Amino acid sequence: KKYQQELRFCESVLSEIMSKKYIKFNWCFLQPVDPVALNIPTYLKIIKKPMDFGTIEKNLKAGQYQTAKDFYNDCMLVFHNCYKFNPEGDEVNRMGHQLNEVFDKLWSE
Ligand X SMILES: Cc1ccc(Nc2c(-c3ccc(O)cc3)nc3c(C)cccn23)cc1
Contact status: 68 vs ligand X (CB under 6 A): no
Alpha carbon distance 39, 42 (integer Å): 9
**Residue whose CB is less far from ligand X, 2 or 48:** 48
**In this chain, which of 86, 98, 102, 106 binds ligand X, going by CB under 6 A?**
86
DSSP state, 18? Answer: T
Alpha carbon distance 61, 70 (integer Å): 14
Alpha carbon distance 56, 77 (integer Å): 10
Contact status: 38 vs ligand X (CB under 6 A): yes
DSSP 43-72: HHHH-SS---HHHHHHHHHTT--SSHHHHH
Contact status: 85 vs ligand X (CB under 6 A): yes
- Burial of residue 42 (CB within 10 Å: 0-12, 13-18, 19+) is exposed
**Residue whose CB is less far from ligand X, 3 or 38:** 38
**In this chain, which of 7, 40, 76, 102 binds ligand X, going by CB under 6 A?**
40
**In this chain, which of 92, 94, 98, 102 binds ligand X, going by CB under 6 A?**
92
Contact status: 18 vs ligand X (CB under 6 A): no
The contact set with ligand X (CB under 6 A) reads: 28, 33, 38, 40, 81-82, 85-86, 92
